[in-house]
Amino acid sequence: MKVGEKRSGKEDLSLNKEQIIDLMENLYEGMYIVDRDCRVIYWNKGAELITGYSYEEVLGRKCSDNMLSHIDEKGNILCGDGCPLKLSMIDRRVHEIEAFLRHRDGHRVPVSIRTYPIINDDLVSGAVQVFVDNSSRIASLHKIEELQRLVIIDHLTGLTNRRFIEMSLEARLNEMQRYGWPFGVLFIDIDNFKSINDLYGHETGDNVLKMIAQTFISNSRPFDVTGRWGGEEFVSIIFNVDRERLFDVANRLRILIEQSVMTVDSVILRVTVSVGATLANSEDTIESLIRRADRLMYHAKISGKNRVMID
């Protein structure tokens, strides 16, 4: 049934063009429309909120033009043969995928994507993409407000601070000893961070810390905890995992950080991290657990950086 066509026995629900656009503008979901060359011709407010890009910034551009640059969880770039918009235009079908778009601020955001072909007079004239932010952003905002009242937030990054990480580790160790609930720890250090400060200044260094923190916030489960341990070091407490799953979580975060970028004086700046990953055991203390994860991170550094070492 086409928009404006009457249904038998139903009230006339015809909508004019302005009403349709108003409905699309007020969707919570992001939505954009591309022509046959994949150039953006429409971009709603939901897309602006999720991606950080305004309508004026994207109109006439392709999302692959150093903009959204979607990737899958393995870091593979989807703006090519794997582009769901192109696939919908080729096979005239609806496509659904899970992906990670690049926010205007540089960090990666997990999204569920659904694409539809636009067909006029049996000819494909473009495609529509509707996408939803899969991050626990809203829950994280409420969590941050609560934690700020307890003075356990790192105010630069918005993550929890060292004090809260130590409190959480103590609680997880007690739970493991009482109930046998497993958990793992990631010790994460930014590679070559001193060089970034030396070359671009401390303000850029602070922005790198914020970008990486946003990757953690957008791509962590609500019940896991990631905090700033100090300087360029972060600690994540990953609940209910085995060794294989702990490695997968660590490597996924490593890939997402590697695939994040920021622009400094027209220079594209990329950063990587080295990660030490270890499972807690019943004999562990906070000190022994952090020491072991830190040692594994150091081995990742001397083995070439931008990698995960797990025991």
**Does residue 53 contact residue 104 with C-beta atoms inside 8 Å?**
yes
Q: What H or E segment, with its residue span, contains residue 237?
A: strand 233-239
Q: 29, 128, 68: which is closest to 259 by C-alpha?
A: 68
**Does residue 51 contact residue 32 with C-beta atoms inside 8 Å?**
no
Beta-carbon contacts of residue 83 (< 8 Å; ≥ 6 apart): 38, 64, 70
Q: Is 232 marked active-site? A: yes
Lookup: tokens for 159: 């993550």
Number of H helices, E strands in the chain: 10, 12
d(CA 310, CA 221): 21
Amino acid at 32: Y
Beta-carbon contacts of residue 87 (< 8 Å; ≥ 6 apart): 93, 95, 115
Which one from 29, 232, 244, 258 is the annotated catalytic residue? 232
CA separation, residue 138 to residues 142, 202, 222, 224 (Å)? 7, 30, 10, 15
Give the residue numbers annotated as catalytic, written as ranges: 232
